[in-house]
Structure 1
Amino acid sequence: MKKERWFWGLACLLAAVLLIGSQLQWFNYPFGPGTLIATFLIVMILIKNLINLSLTGIIFSLAFLFFLYQKLLGIALSGWTIFLTALLLDIGLSLILGPVMQHHHFSSLQTLFASNRSKTKHIKKGWTTNNDEIIQLSGRLTSSTKYLQARNLKEVEVVMLASDMSIYFNQVAVKENQVVVKLDCTASNLDLYIPQGWQVIDRLKSLMGNVEIEPAADATILTKTILLIGQLKASNLEIYYLD
């Protein structure tokens, strides 16, 4: 968090200097001050995403820069064309590069930038307690298994990018007999293992995603509900009932 404050604090100070410099004509810039500041902030976001190895952030940062300077390049495309193309590139490259980036070729980079992904590391160690109502899990270019433990579970939030994750719910007590599972998965595979008697309600928004639910051993006995919300982008979700 301290590094984040320094990064964005210095970025804002530098942006202020650039804005004053453009108005005092310290340098020539063919566009307005709004475009200058937007460009600077997007470049800083791009650098941050490069450090974090965030493919989605890199692609959309470049898409915004292209949108701002397409006229300078002699190109005229609508905004929806540019950003829909960015989305398709994001999905395609995540599917292609996701498995590759998990191999040893990227291990040194992942070690180098591990401090910038402390939230994910913290979660992988088991960021849950027996009194948690909300559990947050995330994975980026990883493969992991999560055994949830909670006495009063209300919601589980899962964010994944090019990852594989298995989550077990057999050691949780659910608040008000319903648990909400909120997903934001891109180019990933997620397996949920739930107790018998849990009814699955699927309200997910899917873009090239797939959901498969194993039939319950006895569908007439329903004790709790698991509500699926959020989105799947080029991802696969499978739900299994535990014996």
Structure 2
Amino acid sequence: MRNRSRIFWGLFLLVSAAILIVSQLHLLTYTFTFWTIVATIILVAFLIKSLTYFSVSGTVFSLAFLAILYAKPLGIASLSAWTILGAALLISIGLSLIFRPFLARHRPWMKKIYKYKYQWNGKGDFNSDVKTVDDPDVEVDVKMGNSTRYVESNDFKSADINVEMGNAKIYFEHVNVQDTAVINVNVSLGAAELYVPRDWNIINGLDNNLSNISENGVRKVDVDSPNVTVQGLVSLANLKITYI
């Protein structure tokens, strides 16, 4: 995590310097406004962060928004923003399917992910996948579906949650943590809700890529509370942590 953060900030500063120099030297015929430069730096920051986390959707949509921003100099002004975003969605799905083995090698938490199967219910959607898990190490993988997990463990250690264009709800209500635990999340173009005991001391190690991360409920942390780190990347998605 620290290595990726160092790479991100290093590349971000280098690219920001390049954009600033090019804009001031007027090396390009296209005139950049101040807010265009600011938006470009922000989008490039998200692009670099997505690349360091091997996030396909984050990378594709960062490029899509840059394409919308620079549609005129790129010669694609005839394309509407919705057309570009729609194409980005299809490209994101296609690349995720093609590069899934590569992504699994670079995301350790995806190597042992359960291969869930969804059944078509004839009404235009997939049945929600609901299971109770009693292992100390929990693994959840959701793609274009809905999953609910009820975790029951007397010695919870870790959870690896991967959600792409889907929704997941994970309940940690009947869970005991002996000392520390970690929850790895990778949420892209979807939503994940974590329901955790209010006496957990949640340590936020999340990276936010154009997403909404929120907390709900009242925490009651004391000296005996276990430390639980929630880390990973939330890209163009929603993550909600609710204390129960």
So what's the TM-score if we normalise by structure 1? 0.48
Q: Which has the larger radius of gyration?
A: 1
So what's the TM-score if we normalise by structure 2? 0.47
Higher helix fraction (1 or 2): 1
